[in-house]
Amino acid sequence: MCGIVGYLGKRQALPVIIKGLKRLEYRGYDSAGVALLNGGLEIVKKKGKVADLESEIGNRKLEASLGIGHTRWATHGEPNDRNAHPHTSSDGKLAIIHNGIIENYSSIKKELESNGHVFKSDTDSEVLIHLIEEIKKQNNCTIEEAVRLALNEVVGAYAIVVLSKDNERSMIAARKGSPLVIGIGEDEYFVASDATPIIEYTNNVTYLNDQEMAIIKDGSLVVKNLENVTKTPFIQKLELDLEDIEKGGYPHFMLKEIFEQPKSIRDAMRGRLVSREHHLFLSGIDQYLNRFLNADRLILVGCGTSWHAGLIGEYLFEDIARIPTEVEYASEFRYRNPIVTERDVVIAVSQSGETADTLAAIELAKSKGALIFGVCNVVGSSIARASHAGAYLHAGPEIGVASTKAFTSQVTILTMMALYLGLKKGTISLSDYQTLLLELDSIPDKVAKILTKDEEIRNISENFYRASNFLYLGRGFNFPVALEGALKLKEISYIHAEGYPAAEMKHGPIALIDEDMPVVFIATKDSSYEKVISNIQEVKARKGKVIAIVTDGDTEIQSMADFTFQIPKTADALVPLLAVIPLQLLSYHIAILRGCNVDQPRNLAKSVTVE
């Protein structure tokens, strides 16, 4: 949610900021703006994408070595020029960019208005910069102290960067609940929502913790908490290459990331699975092995695609490791007064590691004594730091808003966890364990084989891109895959789609089926195969159009479906890793045929850092 960039150093700030905003545009693209400080405070902002901001700047010479920039995902106030960031104080001497939500902004705004403040936007962010201005005036204090005092008064989540016209060689950054990373170069500093704008210039970074401030001033970095206690920043090196965040010749990041899945799945297993030696080791689990083995239950929490991965995890943990497992929407978990004890293990699943609802669920579970195990992709992220232990996906940066490779990496990690625990508990035979390890090791090659038939999926897509509704159906391990396929189509093509257990079709969705309704079946040869065939026949009897994902060599379903796409045979538990690939491609090609922006779908942002 929203992208933040700040620069202080020896370069021209504007090119650094604009390039950084383009790399962060997956976080929000409703509007964008910059503030540059060089004697005066120069602000340019515009509704639309960063390209629209560039056009607004035009040929103006905005020279400065200090500046901030922002690309917005709207929360308070519709997307327009006046609600775009940066926002300024009433005297025009202070500027702020903000990611997050100030929950008590309304009461603060009323008090400030009674003191004569006039607001130009509908945003909570403008209220915060006016509050900082008022505190500075009332207390006759430094800008650093005014920011610290103001942040002690606000309720909510924030990542902010503040400039002051009176402090030409300094900027102040702070965070609570929204990510902020500081890059440290040679006589220059960078501030950003994530590392993608920074890696081109330096790989030395420090991540701010919650309720910490960074004062970057006169070539130095000081980190303090909101109690004014100085902290020693932990400097670490980024394990990120510049080419990882470029398109690499693909027309869209989403397509690139779909095609990266043979590598990303392999990287999730690297150092953990050696199939030839029948060896699997997960250090994060091993250090808390007794807690896992003696757990009353596992609770998986996540949002969106991560929740779907968690549903597959539930099938895996119960089937292989025989541990009672529940899957919760993180956004609902904290609000229903859940029963959590010290005998529970909570597995938090998140690509970004910054999902606000998942972080809130973690904090609630920790307060009840539960063990927290994080499954996330971004090293140094908030969920990684809040967890007792965990496993990184190692999927590399995922820039496309619709998650693809992170999903299959999450499922890969959860599969290895279930196998590891099943072996330790003795709930899976050694022969079955070894067979599944070998089969899991073969998955990347089988995904690569599916991807060679991309054109086949595109041809199927041409028959359905004008549809208004889709239904996705699957049983067992493939029910969550149906949910994920439907979500992908909704996210990037704006076609209404529903995912259901195939057996539930007769309990409502069958009423929707007619000759205009495409129905996607995950119909591989597993223990539910005959039941799925019956469901397909029920759809065909009502003139529905059937697209079936089937196992190589299946001729029975091919004879009754309108379109089939074959995937390699694998174990039932591993089918989701293969079946989801053609569904990702189907969504991608339908969206392209409809003229949609697949990397930046409307109203969505990559990392949901506000509740």
Tell me the catalytic residues. 2, 606
Q: Is the dihedral of CA 54, 57, 62, 67 positive or negative?
A: negative
In the chain, what are the helix, strand and coil shares in percent, each to the nearest 5?
Answer: 40, 25, 35
Q: Which residues pair with 518 in a beta bridge?
A: 545
Nearest to 423 by CA among 542, 285, 521: 285
3-state secondary structure of 231: strand
Q: Locate 592 and state its tokens.
A: 């392209």
Q: What is the DSSP letter of 69?
A: E
Q: How many CB atoms lie within 10 A of CB 53?
A: 25
* Torsion angle in degrees (nearest 10) through CA of 447, 450, 455, 456: -150
| Cα distance between residue 535 and residue 477, in whole Å | 17
- β partners of residue 345: 298, 371
CA distances from 286 to 92, 282, 291 (A): 56, 6, 10
- The DSSP-derived string for 2-26 is -EEEEEESSS-HHHHHHHHHHHTGG
CB count within 10 Å of CB 151 equals 20
- Which residue type sits at 328? E
CB 117 within 8 A of CB 134: yes
Which is it for the CA torsion 585, 589, 591, 592, positive or negative?
A: positive
Matching residue, tokens 């704008």: 197
- Residue pair 222/201 in contact (Cβ under 8 Å)? The answer is no
Dist CA 132 CA 473 (whole Å): 53
Q: Give which of 41, 37, 155 is closest to 107, Cα–Cα.
A: 155
Provide CB contacts within 8 A for 463, sequence distance 6+. 545, 563
To the nearest 10 degrees (0 to 180), the angle between helices 479-493 and 305-316 is 170
Residue 242, sorted as left (phi over 0), alpha (psi -120 to 50) or beta, turns out to be alpha
What gap in Å lies between CA 591 and CA 472, rounded to an integer? Answer: 17
- Comparing CA positions, the residue from 67, 20, 284 lying closest to residue 169 is 67
Burial class (CB in 10 A: 0-12, 13-18, 19+), 287: exposed
* Token duo for residue 168: 């030409």
